[in-house]
Amino acid sequence: MTSDLSPAEQFFFDNAEYSWRPGKETEDAGRMRSGIMLAFAETVAKAADTRFMWVPDRNGEHAKDPDGPKTCELCCLYLGDDPIPIASIGCVDDATPEYKRVIEAELALAVIDKLPVPFNVVEAEP
């Protein structure tokens, strides 16, 4: 447990990929920054009218290979009733629930400028 992180921030610290800026921050500080950003994106996505849809990736032929992954999925992020996703990522292989949570937060972060940030976002569910 890293002190000063919320449970959601700690989750992303523990489970997500991260980056850091050598010479400007330590690896651990970059990992914390990445965790905080993903937790914020997740909070904004939850507070906004978004939904995620997971479907088998039609292009994931390698999932049929006996030596390949067991599942290959596509994740789409929708805003409101719009049938066109605002973000998507394919070839998410063998995704665990934790990995799916990370992917969803990463998608939300990629388009956070398109998500309405509610005034009370700080008080939203972690």
Q: Using CB under 5 A as the criterion, which residues of the chain lie in contact with Zn ion when the complex forms?
A: 60, 72, 91, 93
For Cα atoms 71, 40, 82, give the angle at the middle one, nearest 5 degrees.
Answer: 65
Cβ-based nearer residue to Zn ion, 24 or 70: 70
Closest approach of Cβ 14 to Zn ion, in Å?
Answer: 24
CB of 63 to Zn ion, least distance (A): 6
CA distance linking residue 42 with residue 38, whole number of Å = 6
Instruction: State which residue has the least CB distance to Zn ion.
Output: 72
Nearer to Zn ion, 72 or 102 (CB): 72
Report the C-alpha dihedral over residues 30, 118, 106, 103, rounded to 10 degrees: 130
> Least separation, in Å, of the C-beta of 97 and Zn ion?
18
What is the H or E stretch that residue 110 is in?
Answer: helix 97-110
Determine how β-strand 50-56 pairs with β-strand 87-93. unpaired
Min. distance of Cβ 109 from Zn ion in angstroms? 21
Q: Which is nearer to Zn ion, 35 or 60 (CB)?
A: 60
